Amino acid sequence: MRTSKIKAKLRRNEPVLLTTLHFTDPSAYELAGLMGFDGIWMDLEHHGYSVETAGTLMRAARVGSIDIMARMAKGEFMRMGRLLEAGANGIMYPRCESAAEAREVVKWSKFAPLGRRGFDGGNPDMPYCTMGVADYVKQANEETFVVVQIEDQQSLAQVDEIAAVPGVDVIFFGPADFTVLSGIPGQFDHPLVHDAIQKINAATKKAGIHWGMPSGTVERSRQLLDIGARFIAYGADIIFLKQGLEAMQKNFAPLGFTFNNQIS
């Protein structure tokens, strides 16, 4: 089976960079894979496409060397296994509330003795019954990475316990939901956000694992890396497209072109 680029870099304490792809055109996944990024954040929590479509997109990404991190909705443990079988290298689990829930995530994403993931083998992750069962189980447990999200004050209060769960590789801070649930929507420079980052940094350092979060700029990414983050998610295809269209309008307006822009 394919080894995880992300997990290899984390083992070496190297920074990992992912970007988010929301569009369901396989060409976008193929391009990102060929360009050699570390990972694609595939978000099935907030977007409605099926596991079948996700499998097609992962297949396109496998032309290159990129990892897929798939996020399902909270509590979708059975979907987790299907996404791993479809070829996801790692799982992101949203709104993890406790160490007990983190243990459930590990249980459903790892084979025994680390977990209780169901075995099949006839899917892209093995791939297609081409390995011995024991080798596949061992490699899958070694190469699959688990990312759990801290997104509210209640889970932040338990971050030490969550980070200490065996099998959790990364704690990922979700600042948008955190600010909304904390009653400070969009205030990403609020002291509560800075406090959360410090607590996550300390908890993961104590547990010997890694942490990360979304970043909106190169400078912000540098700041996060300087304080210990190793797992950075930057940008999304819809944002890149929007920025490109905005630049086109800005550059062509002086030539006399006009636009009926309904969103500005």
What tens digit of pLDDT does each residue of 166-208 get?
Answer: 999 999 999 999 999 999 999 999 999 999 999 999 999 999 9
What does the mean pLDDT of the chain come to? 97
Q: Answer yes or no: 46 catalytic.
A: yes
- Over 80: is that where the pLDDT of 60 sits? yes
pTM (2 d.p.) = 0.95
- Active-site residue among 46, 47, 194, 210? 46
**Residue 46 banded pLDDT, cuts 50, 70, 90:** very high
pLDDT at 264: 65
CATH superfamily of 5-255: Phosphoenolpyruvate-binding domains (3.20.20.60)
| DSSP secondary structure letters along the chain | -PPPHHHHHHHTT--EEEEE--S--HHHHHHHHHTT-SEEEEE-SSS---HHHHHHHHHHHTTTT-EEEEE--TT-HHHHHHHHHHT-SEEEE-S--SHHHHHHHHHHHS-TTT--PPP---STTTTTT-S-HHHHHHHHHHH-EEEEEE-SHHHHTTHHHHHTSTT--EEEE-HHHHHHHTT-TT-TTSHHHHHHHHHHHHHHHHHT-EEEEEESSHHHHHHHHHTT--EEEEEEHHHHHHHHHHHHHHHHGGGT-----S--
* All structural domains of the chain with their residue ranges: 5-255
Choice between 256 and 264, residue whose per-residue pLDDT is larger: 256
